[in-house]
Amino acid sequence: MTIDKRILRKDSLEKLFNILRENNRTIFAPVEHNGKISFKASGSFSSVATDYIQTTQSSKEAAFPRTEKILDYTKTRDNINASPFDHNQIPEVVIWGVRPCDAMGIAELSAIFNWDLKDEIYNQRLAKTTVIGFSCMKADESCFCTSVGGNPGNTEGSDILLTRMGEGGDLIAEIITDKGAAIVSFAGELFQKSEEGQKEKYLADVPVKFNRDEIRKKLDKYFESDIWVKQSLRCIGCGACAYVCPTCACFDIQDEIHGKSGSRVRCWDSCGFSQFTIHTSGHNPREVQSQRWRQRIMHKFSYMPERLDVYGCTGCGRCSRACPVDMNILEHLTSIQEVTL
Amino acid sequence: MSDFEPRIVAFVCNWCTYAGADLTGTSRIKYASNVRIVRFPCTGRIDYMLLLKAFDEGADGIIVSGCHPNDCHYTSGNFHARRRWIMFRELCDLMGIDINRIQFSWVSAAEGSKWADVVNTTVTKIRELGPYTEYKKVANWPVKEVING
Amino acid sequence: MDELRNKVKALLEAKTVNVVIGYEEGTGKKPRAVFAVKPEDAAKLIYDSRCVLNLAAYITKHEVKAKGKMAITATLPVMRSIIQLASEFQVNDNNLFVIGLTPDNQVIEFKNLAEVETFIHKFEISIDSKYKEALEKLDKMSRTDRWNWWINELAPCFKCYACRAACPMCYCHRCTVDFNQPQWIPVPSHELGNLEWHIMRAVHLTGRCIDCDACANACPLGIPINLLNKRLLEDAKKHFGGYQPMLKGDHLMSTFKPDDKENFIR
Ligand code: SF4
Ligand code: SF4
Ligand code: SF4
Ligand code: SF4
């Protein structure tokens, strides 16, 4: 569908929030706790954080929660009864205040979850998720969306994209998809038809830092390069970068057992962990951190474009901000672009 | 609340308290039947995680018991254990875990009646405290739908 | 700064060590670790009050160890960590050279770990008053409120283990939380899994934590997990007279006194 442009008056934002709640939507919105902002099911408009560049965690949890049940089971003497995950339990979710880089990440995450096998639970959750994006008026030195195919006012992945016309001003609303139109259908009077506003002039300025296609081409030849060793020496091998990333999709399957019954759950995992690739034999093909770091970059900038036709990084900069030891991905990518073999 | 029967797990050492509990039985002393005994070689082997696992699996109270100081079969296992319990108890208290539900005791192989008394008073206390619902709620997380942490 | 750089340069020129672990200017105005291997790398080194990352976590890192003999620029918490690691046989005089960065901005080249030990024993380990207040606040709550407070604080933890990776004392190649066949601590992040993981972390660091705050600083979600370690530090003082990392002698929790006092065992 073509994008339908409307105007949302500044005091209509709260009304929209409440209308969504009245229409049984679970709203995941940025909420502050301990100085960090993360998406949480939020009951009131006043609890929603407004002054931030980027949330600490991405909004991927709406479709890919850190921990989710796949099935329950009970064992009897001669039988095992398994009851699969009940899709009806999935609520209708609206993710509120998603940045364009996160919204774009949904396409990348979906590519992974629909590569060969179509992941049922993921797709079910996504089908019930509506994304209300907020364009960026501010950016920091970790942001690099413009280097990876995005921009601070990118509509890709959002169902509705809102752009504030200046600090505290009215909002330009772009209704992008049918899901977005569905929201307009029950909050119609808030979305006024108007020609006013040019969103470009309100957007943050994010300079282009590198060319991702060039990096991809280089990576083909860089598997054995010592750049990985150099870059990763200070990496301490935690999961912070993967867990905050909107496109990281690795997971583990665990059985949580209580006596004769239990649940099988899917939970996040990270390629940064030393035991991520350990084999049953004890052999570990990624024995040292440099190989794990290489995997992180290769996966996002070489393997994903090759196999899935999308890149695995939206330039949100979260991994750089979350890393306890300042493994700045932008700095590392730029240095890959600069080195010659 | 009146028909609440506490479930209590007792972690005991083989050489003193287990033998003591045996004596309670052979002396035909009647005592509360709410306790499931788990036998260990020594109190030094009773890992703090085992206590938490007991709560996970639905225990309302816990007894940890072994040889009196200086009576350890392995000389010092109970001294090591005591130091760890002192610290573990402080940690539990800080985190709001109900330390009134964990009873530590020294019961020797000859103290059959003390064992009966430890069990009875613990059962009474836990009966008053009621089921440990707080912990059970957390342990039963899969019952709840997990969407977002 | 020049003194520090010259010392490091000399060490690398003389090939006394193969690598010097130090601080350099990072992105976002935060210093980060640097591994100087050539004399000219010494020019990158910095030292100021922003240098709070505990570099001792790198001493036991496989890839760093593989470089052979190393030197480290060590603030007081880093020096404490080194002595604790030495007492646990993770490092010794033959593979580590310590350049002390003292609280009063001096640069000391220590001849051996025994000298480092003597130096750190001049300072008592004592928790900051702001944490004391936080703990007192918790003590004043009812037990149930405390429980709810912790469940709520730990709820965001997504088990990235940055706190573990940043702690010099968490050097085990296979941590108890990593065992999942069968599971011991629940692997996924949920209320029970998070509670047990943090209790486990605190217990395993009892008597070993040197109060550097690396764990809490590393947490991307700002969870105040170091409060647990701080309370145990205070309790170690209250019950057993406290501890200091020591090259020789018993560790707080691997020893006992026959007259250790308690009031809860029947
Ligand atoms: S790799 Fe880093 S910058 Fe790229 S999408 Fe993931 S978190 Fe954002
Ligand atoms: S890059 Fe940073 S966040 Fe990622 S694994 Fe390494 S230390 Fe952790
Ligand atoms: S537990 Fe935290 S404060 Fe203690 S030594 Fe480890 S990182 Fe430092
Ligand atoms: S660093 Fe924070 S989020 Fe990560 S495991 Fe530790 S407490 Fe949890």
Is the pLDDT score of C178 beyond 70?
A: yes
Is the pLDDT score of B145 beyond 80?
A: no
The answer on C56 and C135 residing in a single domain is no
Any domain includes A22: yes
- Closest Cα partner for B135 from B85, B47, B62, B28? B62
Confidence band, pLDDT 50/70/90 cuts, at residue B144 = low
Given an 8 Å threshold on Cβ–Cβ distance, is A256 in contact with B146?
no
CA distance A94 to A104: 16
Q: Which of A208, A229, A252 is the last residue of a domain?
A: A208
Is the pLDDT score of C205 beyond 80?
A: yes
Total Cβ atoms within 10 A of residue B121: 14
The answer on A126 and A219 residing in a single domain is no
Any domain includes C257: no
CA distance A329 to C88: 35
Given an 8 Å threshold on Cβ–Cβ distance, is A72 in contact with B146?
no
Domains in chain C: how many in total? 2
Q: Which ligand is nearest to the CA of A297?
A: 1
Whole-number percent of chain B with pLDDT over 70: 93
Residues of A in contact with B147 (CB under 8 A): 26, 41, 61-62, 65, 68, 91, 93
Q: How many residues make up chain C in this entry?
A: 266
The predicted pLDDT at position C181 comes to 76
Q: Which of A208, A237, A271 is the last residue of a domain?
A: A208
CA distance C38 to A29: 49
ipTM confidence: 0.94
CA distance B83 to C253: 7
| Each residue's pLDDT tens digit, A100-142 | 999 999 999 999 999 989 999 999 999 999 999 999 999 999 9
The predicted pLDDT at position B149 comes to 35
Can you name the residues that pair with A164 across neighbouring β-strands?
A171
Given an 8 Å threshold on Cβ–Cβ distance, is A28 in contact with B148?
yes
Cα-to-centroid distance, A157 and ligand 2 (Å): 27
3-state secondary structure of B9: strand
DSSP string for residues in A205-259: -------HHHHHHHHTT-TT-THHHHHHTT----SHHHHH-SS---EEEEEEEET
The predicted pLDDT at position B143 comes to 57
Question: Under 8 Å CB-to-CB from A82, ≥6 apart: which residues?
Answer: A71, A72, A73
Any domain includes C153: yes
Any domain includes C254: no
C154 in B contact zone (CB under 8 Å): no
Domain that residue A272 falls in:
209-341
The answer on C153 and C52 residing in a single domain is no
Any domain includes A220: yes
The predicted pLDDT at position A193 comes to 87
Backbone torsions φ then ψ of A18, nearest 5 degrees:
-70, -35
CB distance C213 to ligand 3 below 6 Å? yes
* Nearest ligand 3 atom, CA C213: 3
The predicted pLDDT at position A163 comes to 96
The answer on A129 and A88 residing in a single domain is yes
The answer on A258 and A177 residing in a single domain is no
CA distance B43 to B69: 11
Any domain includes A71: no
| Each residue's pLDDT tens digit, A145-197 | 999 999 999 999 999 999 999 888 999 999 999 999 999 988 888 998 887 77
Token duo for residue B92: 């539990």
Ligand 1 probe mutation, A215, A310, A318, A330, most atoms within 8 A of CB: A318
Any domain includes C177: yes
Any domain includes A317: yes
| Each residue's pLDDT tens digit, C96-112 | 999 999 988 899 999 99
pTM above 0.90, yes or no: yes
For A290, which of C63, C160, C164 is closest by C-beta distance?
Answer: C63
Collect contacts of A222-227 with beta carbons under 8 A, ≥24 apart: A222/A336, A222/A341, A223/A294, A223/A298, A225/A339, A225/A341, A227/A335, A227/A336, A227/A339
- Closest Cα partner for B61 from B140, B141, B130, B138? B130
CA distance A177 to A180: 5
Cα torsion angle, A94, A95, A97, A101, sign: negative
* Nearest ligand 2 atom, CA A236: 7
| Contact assessment for residue A321 and residue A54, using Cβ atoms and an 8 Å cutoff | yes
| Contact assessment for residue B36 and residue B63, using Cβ atoms and an 8 Å cutoff | no
Any domain includes A70: no
CA distance A250 to A192: 42
Token duo for residue A290: 């440099």
The predicted pLDDT at position A341 comes to 64
Any domain includes A5: yes
Any domain includes C247: no
Cα-to-centroid distance, B35 and ligand 4 (Å): 37
The answer on C133 and C115 residing in a single domain is no
Whole-number percent of chain C with pLDDT over 70: 100
The answer on A175 and A196 residing in a single domain is yes
Best to test chain C binding among A233, A290, A294, A331 (most C CBs inside 10 Å): A233
Top pLDDT among B143 and C28 is at C28
Cα-to-centroid distance, A239 and ligand 4 (Å): 9
3-state secondary structure of A337: helix
The per-residue pLDDT of chain A, averaged, comes to 92
* pLDDT mean over A24-28: 92
Cα torsion angle, C57, C60, C64, C68, sign: positive
3-state secondary structure of C98: strand
The answer on A220 and A194 residing in a single domain is no
Confidence band, pLDDT 50/70/90 cuts, at residue A258 = confident
Nearest CA in chain C to B148: C156
Any domain includes C171: yes
Q: Which of A208, A242, A271 is the last residue of a domain?
A: A208
The answer on A159 and A42 residing in a single domain is yes
| Each residue's pLDDT tens digit, A123-134 | 999 999 999 999
CA distance A146 to A30: 23
> Which protein residues touch ligand 4 with a CB less than 6 Å away?
C 157-163, 218-219, 221, 223, 225
* pLDDT mean over C211-219: 97
CA distance A106 to A126: 9
The predicted pLDDT at position B135 comes to 95
Is the pLDDT score of B1 beyond 70?
A: no
Backbone torsions φ then ψ of A149, nearest 5 degrees:
90, 10
Interface residues of B toward C, Cβ cutoff 8 Å, are: 48-49, 52, 56, 69-70, 76, 79-80, 82-99, 103-106, 118, 134, 138-139, 141, 146, 149
DSSP string for residues in A125-179: HHHTEEEEEE--S---TT--GGGGT--TT--TT-SEEEEESSTT--EEEEE-SHH
Any domain includes A251: yes
DSSP string for residues in A16-82: HHHHHHHTTPEEEEEEEETTEEEEEE-S-GGGB--S-SS-SS-SGGGTS-SEEEEEEEEE-SS-EEE
Backbone torsions φ then ψ of C128, nearest 5 degrees:
-65, 145
For B148, which of A39, A259, A262 is closest by C-beta distance?
Answer: A39
Given an 8 Å threshold on Cβ–Cβ distance, is A320 in contact with C27?
yes
Collect contacts of C120-129 with beta carbons under 8 A, ≥24 apart: C120/C76, C120/C79, C120/C80, C120/C83, C120/C244, C120/C245, C121/C244, C123/C76, C124/C242, C124/C244, C125/C80, C125/C210, C125/C211, C125/C233, C125/C242, C125/C243, C125/C244, C126/C211, C127/C211, C127/C230, C127/C233, C127/C234
Q: Which of C120, C150, C167 is the last residue of a domain?
A: C120
The answer on A139 and A262 residing in a single domain is no
The answer on C82 and C6 residing in a single domain is yes
> How many contiguous H segments (helices) and E segments (strands) does chain B have?
5, 4
The answer on A332 and A251 residing in a single domain is yes
Domains in chain A: how many in total? 2
| Each residue's pLDDT tens digit, B97-113 | 999 999 999 999 999 99
Domain that residue C142 falls in:
129-240
CB distance C196 to ligand 3 below 6 Å? no
Any domain includes A54: yes
The answer on A224 and A201 residing in a single domain is no
Any domain includes C251: no
The predicted pLDDT at position A1 comes to 66
Given an 8 Å threshold on Cβ–Cβ distance, is C266 in contact with B93?
no
3-state secondary structure of C77: helix
Residues of B in contact with C141 (CB under 8 A): 96
| Each residue's pLDDT tens digit, B35-45 | 999 999 999 99
Q: How far is CA A300 from CA A125, A213, A246, A284, A309, in A?
A: 24, 12, 12, 22, 11
CA distance C244 to C84: 8
**Location of structure tokens 């700064």:** C1
| Contact assessment for residue C94 and residue C102, using Cβ atoms and an 8 Å cutoff | no
The answer on A245 and A145 residing in a single domain is no
> Which protein residues touch ligand 2 with a CB less than 6 Å away?
A 235-238, 240-241, 272, 323-325, 327; C 162
Confidence band, pLDDT 50/70/90 cuts, at residue B2 = low
C175 in B contact zone (CB under 8 Å): no
The answer on C208 and C116 residing in a single domain is no
The answer on A7 and A146 residing in a single domain is yes
Q: Which of C68, C91, C120 is the last residue of a domain?
A: C120
3-state secondary structure of A93: strand
CA distance A103 to A98: 6
Helix H or strand E encompassing C194: helix C191-204
CA distance C109 to C129: 31
Nearest CA in chain B to A63: B147
Cα torsion angle, A285, A289, A290, A293, sign: positive
Is the pLDDT score of B148 beyond 50?
A: no
Q: How far is CA A279 from CA B50, C33, C159, C177, in A?
A: 29, 32, 22, 18
Q: Give the CATH architecture of domain B8-147.
A: 3-Layer(aba) Sandwich (3.40)
| Each residue's pLDDT tens digit, C126-176 | 999 999 999 999 999 999 999 999 999 999 999 999 999 999 999 998 899
Residues of B in contact with C160 (CB under 8 A): none
Any domain includes C165: yes
| Centroid of chain to Cα C65 | 18
